[in-house]
Structure 1
Amino acid sequence: MIGGQKVLGRHALVTGGGSGVGREIALALAQAGVDVTICGRRADVLDAVAAESSRIHGIAADITDEHAVSGLYEKAEAARGPFDIVIANAGAADSAPAHKVSLADWRRTLDVNLTGAFLTVKPALSSMAARKAGRIVFIASVAGLRGYAYVAPYVAAKHGVIGLMRALAAETVKTGVTVNAVCPGYVETDMLDRSVNNIVEKTGRSAEEARSILAAANPQNRFIQPDEVADTVLWLCGEKAGSITGQAISISGGETW
């Protein structure tokens, strides 16, 4: 139960669950009584999160590798049953003017943020449809709803995630499965720290100035907190969100409407 609402599912997958938003979502789902498999590339980081709750179990996997994702599903579902909830959270972003982005950088960004999201949810689709139940949530970004300078590959990838979400929602709408995306603005995580450091290195501004610049993108002049994203995910996974599908939900203090 969360906020008086039952979370629908006994087993959830959260990619990128070793830190930031993914960690917060995993802990929130576990607190709501769901067994959670988290994945990422570093087993030690996953183990640290798993140590925080007996309901959380870490499996190291590269979500851009279809074979690795298949192995993740096989191992996790053999131990704890099929996934009722899949949260495609893993992502990464680099900053550079578009004319300086190499093809390798472009492909790497799309592999992690878009192809990885597709590979994360693909194995669950037929199983969820057969059971006529399931919750799929993509952690996208406001960058999937509008454009931003100097992060063209990331913006393109996150727009792709929103399109993927809408396509899957249309395919599953009569099956009892819901598919949605949560689109945060700048969230207070390690990724934000990297963005701040990048501004400091490239402009010579102080870290405080860099944080102020990023916070100003939010009309409330603040950063989104990881638990705000987690709470929205829990609501989408709850029994009262059965009519919510195909939606891109902005958590941005009014940056997008």
Structure 2
Amino acid sequence: MLSGKHALVTGGGTGIGLAIARALADEGALVTITGRRAATLQEAAGGRLHPLVMDVQDEASVADGIAEAVTQRGPIQICVPNAGIAEGRALLKTDLDFWRNMMATNLDGAFLTIRESLKSMTQTDWGRIVAVSSIAGLKGLKGAPTYTASKHALIGLIRGLAADYAGKPYTFNALCPAYVDTDIVDSNVTSIAARTGMSHDEARQLMVGVNPHGRLIRPEEVADAAVWLCRPNSGSVNGQAIQLSGGEL
């Protein structure tokens, strides 16, 4: 279905990003996977997955990296800004460095990735932007006001771009998963257990219990949603924040 298309997935070496990259590759796309850790990318690469070391917080790194990917594999027609930080901290314990670091990755990184990808995408007759936000982009996530703000802002960016490019052959959508079974959840479980004195299993169940269907979402479920947004009849889905949350209302 996507044969000949060049996709770029940030944070593509692990978790949701890797699942999306593999799903797009299975549909025939050539996929550039980016991240800061060369070893992680090399481990994930192979077949139609091509590694690119890139730091989404660094404007020059994003501009140069995406230009290199375009030179090697052609214009980017599928852009998945996925790289992100998920960490909770009470507002009165939040310093400006924590705030700025979260925004630099979750919002600035997405902005830079989309901007640079559009330079080649808009020279073609088809394109898809599929940003990975969070259920926290649609509701307040208790204990994580900074993260919540960054993911709300990402959805605002997507909706603004959908309005700007309405009527053109490019769509802009956001995926909003609840808790997904990734290394980020494992890290947060460890953090919760350390702060509260809960056991690891108790802390994990606390996170599982937030999802109404009583389980963690599989990365492949998010990946299938991303692929759906790239299918031939997806052109009327634009400016949407699509929940993958097990029934969260």
Q: TM-score range by the shorter chain?
A: over 0.9
- RMSD over aligned Cα atoms: 1.1
The within-5 A match list for 1:208-223 is 208-223=201-216
The match for 2:120 among 116, 127, 135 is: 127
CA contact (8 A) 2:3 2:27 kept: no
Q: 1:76 aligns with which of 69, 73, 76?
A: 69
Listed as ranges, the matches of 1:194-213 within 5 Å are: 194-213=187-206
Name the CA distance, whole Å, in 2 between partners of 1:71 and 1:130.
18
Decide which of 30, 35, 41 is 1:40's aligned counterpart.
Answer: 35
Tell me the amino acid that sits aligned with residue 41 of structure 2: L
Give structure 1 stretches of 5+ with no counterpart: 1-5
CA contact (8 A) 2:78 2:127 kept: yes
Q: Structure 2 length normalisation: TM-score?
A: 0.97
Which SS does the other structure have where 1:131 is aligned?
coil
TM-superposed CA distance for 1:101, in Å, is: 0.4
Shift of 1:18: 0.8
SS at match of 2:122: helix
Cα distance in 1 for partners of 2:68, 2:119 equals: 18
**Alignment check: 8 A CA contact 1:136 1:179 kept:** yes
Counterpart amino acid of residue 19 in structure 1: T
2:86 corresponds to 1:90: no
Whole-angstrom distance in 1 between the partners of 2:158 and 2:48: 28
Provide, for residues 117-169 of structure 1, a one-character-per-residue CA deviation record: whole Å limited to 9, x for no partner. Answer: 10010012243234231000000000000001221111000000000000011
What is the aligned partner in structure 1 of residue 21 from structure 2? Answer: 26
Q: CA–CA distance in 1 between the matches of 2:82 and 2:105?
A: 10
1:49 matched residue in structure 2:
44
Q: Is the 8 A contact 1:183 1:251 kept in 2?
A: yes
Change over 3 Å in CA distance of 1:185–1:8 after alignment to 2: farther
Measured after TM superposition, the shift of residue 238 of structure 1 is: 1.1
* TM superposition shift of 1:9: 5.8
SS of alignment partner, residue 234 of structure 1: helix
Deviation at 1:64, TM superposition (A): 1.2
How high is the TM-score relative to the length of structure 1? 0.94
Q: Please tell me whether the aligned partners of residues 9 and 134 of structure 1 are also in contact (alpha carbons under 8 angstroms).
A: no
> Where does 1:60-209 land on structure 2 (aligned, <5 Å)?
60-209=53-202
SS at match of 1:36: strand
For the 8 Å contact 2:9–2:82, the answer to whether it is kept is yes
Which of 207, 210, 227 is residue 234 of structure 1 equivalent to?
227
Aligned to 1:3: none
Letter in 1 for 2:12: G
Q: Answer whether contact 2:42 2:51 (CA < 8 A) is retained.
A: yes
CA distance in 2, matches of 1:127, 1:41: 23
CA distance 1:141–1:119, change in 2 (3 Å): same
Secondary structure (helix, strand or coil) at the match of 1:181 reads strand
How many Å apart are 1:113 and its aligned residue?
A: 0.3
